[in-house]
Amino acid sequence: QKEVEQNSGPLSVPEGAIASLNCTYSDRGSQSFFWYRQYSGKSPELIMFIYSNGDKEDGRFTAQLNKASQYVSLLIRDSQPSDSATYLCAPVGGNEKLTFGTGTRLTIIP
Amino acid sequence: DTEVTQTPKHLVMGMTNKKSLKCEQHMGHRAMYWYKQKAKKPPELMFVYSYEKLSINESVPSRFSPECPNSSLLNLHLHALQPEDSALYLCASSPSLAQGYEQYFGPGTRLTVT
């Protein structure tokens, strides 16, 4: 089992719709969870982080965490073409290392 | 200033060359990281420095040699690299090594080994 699993996609979503990105992790020691966005040829950019079970909202982005199920997700509302990128889920493990998932490639269709 | 800078942006080197990658941050962060990223793959951790001391070495070959001269600077010295070492090398920093602190990435150095 991979440490961090994401659906690699590509995930195609119409402009204005909700994009839902999912991530499962194996390290029960993980307490902090980060979502990074990476445009092609660019470096990862932090967009959300969450520490507590439940939802956390920031603008059009909502992160959801369920530690019992070892599941974290990212919802993007009112998707825009500029949201087209690869989204990397990154839990911080009990060893304090950030472990990136393989990423989900999201394409917003105008 | 929330910027991590890296130089050079691009580097082409032969297998017998010696070169260095440089990373700098002025956010007062005390943890700095080197990652390697191949195309269509996630970043892979190479080294972590915490308070200028090497904290984590992910079993990286000795042809990669990190150095942290001070709290703002991080170098990666390269020697006798192989073509398979061609990748995007990313530097990142965070306030601390502890959980809960987000990492900020530099733009990366795209390395090609010929």
CB B77 within 8 A of CB B63: no
How confident is the model over A84-106, as pLDDT tens digits? 999 999 998 777 788 899 999 99
* Closest CA–CA distance from residue B35 to any residue of chain A (Å): 11
Residue A80 has pLDDT above 90, yes or no: yes
Reported as a pLDDT band with limits 50, 70 and 90, residue A28 is confident
pLDDT at B82 exceeding the cut of 80: yes
Which residue is associated with the tokens 């105008």?
A110
pLDDT at B46: 96
Nearest CA in chain B to A51: B100
The pLDDT value given to residue B2: 62
How far is A51 from A54, CA to CA, in rounded Å?
Answer: 9
Q: Can you tell me the distance from the alpha carbon of B5 to that of B106, in angstroms, rounded to the nearest whole number? A: 5
Residue B97 has pLDDT above 90, yes or no: no
- Per the prediction, chain B carries an average pLDDT of 93
The secondary structure element, H or E, covering residue A44 is: none
Q: Which residues of B touch A45 (CB under 8 A)?
A: 105
Q: Does A46 sit within 8 Å of B104, measured CB to CB?
A: yes
Residue of B110 and A98 predicted with greater confidence:
B110
Task: Give the whole-angstrom CA distance, residue B20 versus residue B81.
Answer: 12
- B51, amino acid identity: Y
Tell if the CB–CB gap between A45 and B105 is shorter than 8 Å.
yes
Using a CB-CB distance cutoff of 8 angstroms, which residues of chain B are in contact with residue A97? 45, 48, 56
